[in-house]
Structure 1
């Protein structure tokens, strides 16, 4: 009987389930919407999304490899922040997968770790719609920032800061910026005031976390063009990420000054403007860190976790097949 290994990466923008064989070949994928139990009115909605995608991926894999057996699964889920969140998911997954399937549940910040270090040791930073930062030390100590992350980062964080800047500039409380024209234009607003009204009026549907995040590319573009306010926002985000990385490393026993792997990923980190700013700041503050700037999807890290936890060592051949 062939063994299957399931990885699930659930976030606020999308959720992906993927199945691999013991060699790391991806046999099936399923993609859907929000899988964060904190991002919906009823956590059952996020649970239902994840379980549906698991079933879709397993069905597709069964078509490719009939009579295969699910040996191990790794769930890396946004919104696994407290013990009761793990309990909720454990009950849901045990009931759905059955008592004989081995699985692990962790915050989605851990998804990228094995993409950088085969043993999953180091710190991972994923900058997408939001940010996920997590680390694992050489003795197995783990830490995910989750709600300890007190600065909005990722796409939504960039745009939040940009909106503050243009609203303050409009009232004469901050420097002028090209963002005051570029961001309203992005949203087809006639002015800064029109944008503020649309984002804050009663019964508005536009001032959401996800909708705001869509303008991140505008902030990065204006920074690249030389706007000082936009560039300042990008620089500040790089400084914040670097500080969180240093704190996370300390919490998991990666001593200051000792080399460790930092894995960068996510759609925002893939942008050249913020990536070069991040790399510059990391090199200045943490020169001992080996930065692995990955274009790999976090789902691939969850597959590597599922394989490793299911007894398949992350050999170079396996990693090359997965990544």
Structure 2
């Protein structure tokens, strides 16, 4: 029997999964932040903790794993891989690979080996691979480097919209009451001065307020519309550059802003951008853990074909209940 390990190391948690060659889940492990760009030693400990727990549950050793695939947030450039290669090699798996977490998100969301993925969680990213195996990443490096949105920046948009409405630079918004209640302030004036005095940043959980009021609030809808348009722009850029306009493929939507929120305020704008460019493209919400994509890539890297029963077992064993 062959055994495989798939790891999804994100900014908030790390999930490791061990399966057999049939896709049966044998063990799971959880760790903290797996992004080395946040803190290298924390990422190393989180990945070690998650993989060790998964192996212990499965009753296996590292030497028994045919192939281990690590899908890690922040694995974007050669500078990142110079940090990650020795870190992952030090875990002791005989055969292993490292890819960006966008790649495992794509592979988890489609049964094809080609496609495009859009990520909108704490940040944003876009990645695609065509039928020839050519790949391209667009974004993932923050606002200064061309991105817009994700939970961190959307929270800032919520905060600044409330301030601008208070000052009179924008129309009144339901976000004001929602922010004051969430953060526990009696007035925007008190909020304004306290955050200035402390040099505090906008808490990321303010992003969810957009979805709570969007059906009744123009300002919230406007922010979410821009998020959808920006994601659509990234996707169409990747599609054009990889010459995928005539292809039939899945555009996989990954991340809490797209999968665990009321995405009807975002996804229509993605579709409006993408469909004229790639009519045969199909938008698909990711409904299983991205770690499933790491398992599939591990199997493929080892030369093992992936059958329908493997997909079915992974979809059953790693479904995301809140998707």
Q: Structures share a fold, TM > 0.5? A: yes
Out of 201, 205, 208, the position equivalent to 1:214 is: 205
Provide the residue aligned with 1:189 in structure 2.
185
1:109, 1:126 within 8 Å by CA — same for their partners in 2? yes
Provide the residue aligned with 2:32 in structure 1.
33
Q: CA deviation at 1:7?
A: 0.9
2:180, 2:187 within 8 Å by CA — same for their partners in 1? yes
Provide the residue aligned with 1:267 in structure 2.
256
2:148, 2:230 within 8 Å by CA — same for their partners in 1? no
Q: Provide closer, same or farther for how the CA distance between residues 38 and 66 of structure 1 changes in structure 2, counting only shifts above 3 A.
A: closer
Q: Aligned pair 1:232/2:222, yes or no?
A: yes
Distance in 2 separating the partners of 1:67 and 1:244:
39
Provide the residue aligned with 1:292 in structure 2.
284
Q: CA deviation at 1:231?
A: 0.7
Distance in 1 separating the partners of 2:169 and 2:116:
38
* Alignment TM-score, normalising by the size of structure 1: 0.87
Distance in 2 separating the partners of 1:169 and 1:6:
50
Distance in 2 separating the partners of 1:7 and 1:197:
47
Q: CA deviation at 1:246?
A: 0.9
Question: Superposition pairs for residues 166-185 of structure 1, below 5 Å?
Answer: 166-185=162-181
Give the total of aligned pairs. 308
Distance in 1 separating the partners of 2:160 and 2:119:
24
Provide the residue aligned with 2:231 in structure 1.
241
Provide the residue aligned with 1:151 in structure 2.
147
Provide the residue aligned with 1:24 in structure 2.
23
For 1:165, what is the secondary structure of its paired residue? helix
Q: Which moved more, 1:281-290 or 1:163-172?
A: 281-290
Q: Provide closer, same or farther for how the CA distance between residues 3 and 197 of structure 1 changes in structure 2, counting only shifts above 3 A.
A: farther
Deviations 1:47-92 (A, max 9, x none): 2211222122112211xx6898101111111111220211211112
Q: Aligned pair 1:307/2:287, yes or no?
A: no
For 2:266, what is the secondary structure of its paired residue? helix
1:6, 1:18 within 8 Å by CA — same for their partners in 2? yes
Provide the residue aligned with 1:140 in structure 2.
133
- Unaligned runs of 5+ residues in structure 2 are 316-323
For 2:214, what is the secondary structure of its paired residue? helix
Q: CA deviation at 1:8?
A: 0.9
Provide the residue aligned with 2:98 in structure 1.
105
Out of 110, 114, 124, the position equivalent to 1:117 is: 110
Q: CA deviation at 1:272?
A: 5.5
Deviations 1:77-126 (A, max 9, x none): 1111220211211112212215xx22111111112212233233111123
* Alignment TM-score, normalising by the size of structure 2: 0.87
For 2:22, what is the secondary structure of its paired residue? coil
